[in-house]
């Protein structure tokens, strides 16, 4: 056996591993701000990220309709005015929840036994008329649909190799009251325009403020914001 070749191979692997480590740039969801690195324009990450791991089962009741399709909701509490909000949704969930992530009960129950169950995501961001943290559970209505996205090539492809996962960004416009990203509750509606919504997902919200919380109901969000 020629040990020099084995050594070379091992050295090559070590170099490849360290290059990969250097190239790792955190979450796939990046902000609209970019900087030039070695002549290549690269998007900068958000200062803060909040993750939510969920699962939609066949028996999960839809919470509304979007363009005739069954829609499900996530609610995000943003504790201060932000200059920009970014949202991504990837299905199936690929990461493992950490202690600071929000995890739906159904995800804990079903993801492990159905790790490859996924759907083609489509997300819509609305601003709700709830700005008082003590009144989140009282509900509210959408003031404005801010933006939406179906497919983004910035995110990892699905297991079928298709870039069908979703990513959106909304920049605050403080001169326009309906487009100023004030403190309050934002709703992320999700659905699918290719097949049904069934399987696991990981939703991520990026902003420049800490303390964003995500829940699947306003009651749950109220408790997270006011008791935790």
Helix (H) or strand (E) holding 186: strand 184-191
Q: Report d(CA 223, CA 69) in Å as an integer.
A: 29
- Dihedrals phi, psi of 67, to nearest 5 degrees: 45, 45
Q: How many CB atoms lie within 10 A of CB 80?
A: 14
- Of 36-44, 149-157, 177-185, 197-205, the window that binds Ca ion (rule: CB under 5 A) is 149-157
Residue 120 lies near Ca ion (rule: CB under 5 A): yes
Which residue's CB is nearer to Ca ion, number 121 or number 189?
121
Residue 202 lies near Ca ion (rule: CB under 5 A): no
How far is CA 54 from each of CA 44, 83, 85, 151, 214, rounded to the nearest angstrom?
27, 27, 20, 19, 11
To the nearest whole angstrom, how small is the minimum distance from the Cβ of residue 113 to Ca ion? 25
Exposed e or buried b per residue across 51-66, where buried means at least 16 C-beta atoms within 10 angstroms of its C-beta:
bbbbbbeeebeeeeeb
Residue in 164, 186, 190, 201 binding Ca ion, rule: CB under 5 A: 164
- Of 36-44, 49-57, 69-77, 142-150, the window that binds Ca ion (rule: CB under 5 A) is 142-150
To the nearest whole angstrom, how small is the minimum distance from the Cβ of residue 191 to Ca ion? 10
Which residue's CB is nearer to Ca ion, number 126 or number 151?
151
Which residue's CB is nearer to Ca ion, number 128 or number 204?
204
Residue in 52, 56, 86, 151 binding Ca ion, rule: CB under 5 A: 151
- Of 124-132, 139-147, 151-159, 218-226, the window that binds Ca ion (rule: CB under 5 A) is 151-159
Residue 150 lies near Ca ion (rule: CB under 5 A): yes
- Of 87-95, 98-106, 150-158, 177-185, the window that binds Ca ion (rule: CB under 5 A) is 150-158
Helix (H) or strand (E) holding 85: strand 84-90
* SS percent in the chain: helix, strand, coil, step 5: 20, 35, 45
Residue 201 lies near Ca ion (rule: CB under 5 A): no
To the nearest whole angstrom, how small is the minimum distance from the Cβ of residue 205 to Ca ion? 18
Residue 66 lies near Ca ion (rule: CB under 5 A): no
To the nearest whole angstrom, how small is the minimum distance from the Cβ of residue 157 to Ca ion? 11
User: In sequence order, what are the beta bridge partners of 144?
Assistant: 127
CA nearest 198: which of 121, 133, 131, 84?
121
Which residue's CB is nearer to Ca ion, number 120 or number 126?
120
**Encoding tokens for residue 98?**
């950490």
Binding site for Ca ion (CB under 5 A): 120-121, 150-151, 164
């Amino acid at each position: 056996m020629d040990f020099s070749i084995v050594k070379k191979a091992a050295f090559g692997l070590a170099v490849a591993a360290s290059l990969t480590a250097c190239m790792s740039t955190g979450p796939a969801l990046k902000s609209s701000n970019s900087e030039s690195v070695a002549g290549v324009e690269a998007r900068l990450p958000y200062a803060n990220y909040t993750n939510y791991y969920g699962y939609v089962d066949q028996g999960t009741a839809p919470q509304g309709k979007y363009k005739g399709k069954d829609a499900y909701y996530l609610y995000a509490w943003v504790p201060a005015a932000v200059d920009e909000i970014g949202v991504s949704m990837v299905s199936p969930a690929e990461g493992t929840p950490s202690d600071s992530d929000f995890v739906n009960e159904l995800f804990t129950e079903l993801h492990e036994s159905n790790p490859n169950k996924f759907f083609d995501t489509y997300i819509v961001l609305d601003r709700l008329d709830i700005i008082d943290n003590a009144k989140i559970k009282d509900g509210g209505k959408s003031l404005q649909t801010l933006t939406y996205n179906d497919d983004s090539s910035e995110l990892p492809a699905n297991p079928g190799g298709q870039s069908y996962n979703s990513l959106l960004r909304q920049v605050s416009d403080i001169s326009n009251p309906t487009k100023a990203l004030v403190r309050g509750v934002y709703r992320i509606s999700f659905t699918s325009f290719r097949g049904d919504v069934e399987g696991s997902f990981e939703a991520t919200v990026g902003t420049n403020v800490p303390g964003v919380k995500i829940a699947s109901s306003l009651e749950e969000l109220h408790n997270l914001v006011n008791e935790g």
